[in-house]
Amino acid sequence: MSLKQTLVSRDDSQQPEINEKTIAAAVTGEESPDTLVRKKRAIPKKRQDVLKWNGWGYKDSGFVYRDGDLLFSGDRYPLGNLILPYFTNWVRDRLGGNFALKVESIEEPDDTTFPEANVTSELISKIEEIGVTYSVQGGDRLFRSHGHTLHDIFTLRTGNFPRIPDLVVWPESHNHVVAVVNLAQTLGVVLIPYGGGTSVSGALSVPENERRTVVSLDMSQMNRILWVDEANLICCAEAGIIGQDLEGQLRTLGFTTGHEPDSYEFSSLGGWVATRASGMKKNTYGNIEDLLVHVKMVTPRGTVEKHCKVPRISAGPDIHHFVLGSEGSLGVITEVVLKIRPLPICKRYGSVVFPDFASGVSAMREVAKERCQPASIRLMDNEQFKFGHSLRAPVGFLGNLSSAAKQFYLTKFKGLDLNQICVATLLFEGQKHEVNVQEQRIYGIAAKFGGMPGGDSNGERGYILTFVIAYIRDIALDYNIVAESFETSVPWSHTFNLCENVKLRVINECRARGIRHHFITCRVTQTYDVGACVYFYFAFNYAGMSDPVRVFEEIETTARDEILANRGSISHHHGIGKLRAKWVPHTMSQTGVGALLHIKRAVDPDNIFGNGNILSSPETMVQPQQSQEDSFMHSKL
C-alpha cells in the first residue's frame, strides 16, 4: 500500500491525514503502519554524548589547529577534513591570532563538583507518580543551565555558573507536561522550558536570586510528528522535535516546512515559536508566525489554544500572538500545527558581485520593492566577503590560475576594487519555469546597480557555510579571541546608514580601549516590503585583557544603542531573554509593557515560569529619550 493511500480521519476535523504510524512506516521502510516504529533522532536524550559541553555543535566537528594550519574536523559538513591555509593566514593577519599561545578550557566538571540539588523527597515522589523520567546529575543540570551567548560559553570554559537547575525532567506527552506544570504550581517550583539549547539571549540561565527549586523542563522526548494533512497542507508535531528531524521526516513524505534558521540542526520547533524565529528561506515559506496555524501552550492556569485550525479568523485579538515570542515566561509550548509545502521541483544557487555595499543595498531594496525575492538572498559586505573567501582549501596551480584570471577580469576589465566589492548569495526554489523567470528578474535588477553574476558555486558555498560559522567562536576562544553575532531589523530608508554607523561605532569603541586587532562586519539577510534584517559579526583579540567578556558586552551595548539611534529594532529573530530586556522600553510604550505584565499575571500569577525573560525590573531598564514611533514618524523617509 502506498503512503498516500494509507489515510485515516480524525473525529475533530474529518480530514484525511497521515498519522504518526504512517510516518514511522515511511521513514523506516516498514510496509504496515499498524506497529509504531520510532525513528532514531539526531540528538540523543543525553545530549552531551554527541554535543560539546562547552561549545557549539557536534563533538566530532569543529576547527582545530594542526601542523601549522587550521582545518575543520569530521565529515558532517562540506568543509570536513579540509586544510584551510587561507583562513589560518586571515586569523593571523586580521585578528592577530597567535597559534603558539593556546588558552585551554577547564576540564568538564564531574558530578562531585556541582552544588547539591535543592529538591525535596515529595517532589521526586510526585514526579515518579506522573511517570516522567528525571535526573539530578550535575552534568545533566549544567547542560541545561545555559544557551550559547559569549558569556555562557566563556563561563563554561573558565569557571562556573552561580545557579543551575536543581532537576531535569523529560516529559513525553502533552498530558505529562500538564501534570508537571500542575505539580509545580502546587509545590511552588520554578519551571524553565528547554528546547534545543541554542538561545543567544540568556533566556535559559537561572536567575541568580531564585531561591525556589528550579526544574529544567527538557522537551526533547516530545519529538514526534503526530499527523500530516495532505489535503490542507499542514502537519502537527510535538514541540521538542528539532529542525533536522522535522525536515528529514517530512521530506520522506515529499513535504517541507521551508523553515531553516541558522541553528536548524539543533533548535526545536517549540523554541522557534517561543522566540518568533526566522529562517533563511522566509521569502518563499514565511517566518514562523506565517507558518503557524495552531499551537498549544500549557500554563499554570490551563492550556492556551484555539478551538479551530483555519487560515484566518476575526475573533478579537489573536492569542497566538502572545504565545509567539513568549520565551518560556508564560508557559510551555507542547504541540504546533504548521503549514507545509510539497518539496520544490527545482533548486538552484546563484550569486551577484556588486561594486560596493551601497550598490548592493540599493539592489536588495529594489528586489523587495518588486516582490521578486528568491527563497534566500543575502548581501555580505566587503569584510565578510574576504572572510568567507578565506574559508577554502588550496586548489592547486590551475585553481590558482583560474582565481587570478577572475581577479584580473574583475579589477582590470570591469574596474572593480577588491577592497570595496560585496557579494549577494542566492537560493531559488520552485517550479523550473518559475526559477528561470526569477533568475532573469534578479540578475536584471542587479545589473541596474552594477551587479554581475558571480556563479552558482559561490552561492551554494556561501549558503552552506552558514552552518559552520558558529563553530568558529570555539577555536577563536582557544587563541585569545572573543566573538559574537547580533542582529536587528531596520526600515529601508536607514539600512545602509545603520550598517555603516554601527560598524564605525564599534571600531571607535575598540580604538578607545586600545584594542589593536578587531573585526566588525555585517550582512543583509532578510528583505521585506518596508525594511531588512541586518546581521553583525564582531570579534577582537583580548590577549592581556583581564575581563574580555565584560569589555565585549560594553562594546556590544554601545552597538545596540547605535542600532536604536539609527531606527533599528531590539531584535529581528534572536529574541530578548535577559540580555536585551533593558531595552524593552525602546520597543513599546509603558502601556504596552503593562499589558504584557497583565497577561503574565493572568496565566502565571505565581511566576512558576520564572526564567526572568523579556521584562526585567524597572530600575534596570534603559529609559528612552524619545519613543521609536516618534523618531520613525519624524525621520525623513
Cite the active site residues. Answer: 535
DSSP 111: G
Three-state secondary structure call for residue 410: helix
Q: Determine if residue 333 is labeled as part of a ligand binding site.
A: yes
Grid look-up 559579526 returns: 537
Q: Determine if residue 194 is labeled as part of a ligand binding site.
A: yes
Q: Determine if residue 197 is labeled as part of a ligand binding site.
A: yes
Pairing of strands 422-430, 531-541: unpaired
Q: Determine if residue 275 is labeled as part of a ligand binding site.
A: yes
329, three cell numbers: 515566561
200, three cell numbers: 543567544
In terms of Cα–Cα distance, which of 487, 506, 479, 522 is closest to 387? Answer: 522
Residues making up the chain, counted from first to last: 637
Q: Determine if residue 396 is labeled as part of a ligand binding site.
A: no
Q: What whole-number distance in Å separates Cα of residue 539 and Cα of residue 39?
A: 40
Q: What whole-number distance in Å separates Cα of residue 552 and Cα of residue 63?
A: 22
Q: Determine if residue 228 is labeled as part of a ligand binding site.
A: no
In terms of Cα–Cα distance, which of 566, 450, 629, 479 is closest to 105? Answer: 479
The percent helix, strand, coil of the chain (3-state, each to 5) is: 40, 20, 40
DSSP 51: B
Q: Determine if residue 327 is labeled as part of a ligand binding site.
A: yes
Q: Determine if residue 196 is labeled as part of a ligand binding site.
A: yes
Q: Determine if residue 120 is labeled as part of a ligand binding site.
A: no
Q: What whole-number distance in Å separates Cα of residue 546 and Cα of residue 100?
A: 20
Q: Determine if residue 159 is labeled as part of a ligand binding site.
A: no
98, three cell numbers: 597567535
Letter string b/e over residues 383-417, b meaning 16 or more CB atoms within 10 A of that residue's CB? bbbbbbbbbbbeeeeeeeeeeeeeeeebeeeeebe
Q: Determine if residue 258 is labeled as part of a ligand binding site.
A: no
Burial class (CB in 10 A: 0-12, 13-18, 19+), 54: buried
8 A C-beta contact, residue 532 and residue 364: yes
8 A C-beta contact, residue 551 and residue 581: no
Q: Determine if residue 624 is labeled as part of a ligand binding site.
A: no
Q: Determine if residue 193 is labeled as part of a ligand binding site.
A: yes
Q: Determine if residue 328 is labeled as part of a ligand binding site.
A: yes
Q: What is the largest CA-CA distance in the chain?
A: 78
Q: What whole-number distance in Å separates Cα of residue 235 and Cα of residue 56?
A: 30
Q: Determine if residue 332 is labeled as part of a ligand binding site.
A: yes
Question: Which amino acid appears at position 173 of this protein?
Answer: S
Q: What whole-number distance in Å separates Cα of residue 94 and Cα of residue 92?
A: 6
Integer angstrom CA distances of residue 210 from 207, 287, 332, 612: 5, 34, 19, 10
Q: What whole-number distance in Å separates Cα of residue 454 and Cα of residue 410?
A: 10
Instruction: Please tell me the number of Cα atoms within 13 Å of 584 on its side-chain side.
Output: 23
Integer angstrom CA distances of residue 211 from 23, 120, 144, 605: 44, 14, 18, 17
Q: Determine if residue 149 is labeled as part of a ligand binding site.
A: no
Grid look-up 560539546 returns: 52
Letter string b/e over residues 73-92, b meaning 16 or more CB atoms within 10 A of that residue's CB? bbeebebeebbbebbbebbe
104, three cell numbers: 585551554
Three-state secondary structure call for residue 285: helix
Q: Determine if residue 121 is labeled as part of a ligand binding site.
A: no
Nearby residues of 110 by Cβ (< 8 Å), 6 or more positions away = 138, 139
User: Which residues are annotated as part of the binding site for FAD?
Assistant: 193-199, 275-278, 327-333
User: Which residues are annotated as part of the binding site for substrate?
Assistant: 473
User: Which residues are annotated as part of the binding site?
Assistant: 193-199, 275-278, 327-333, 473
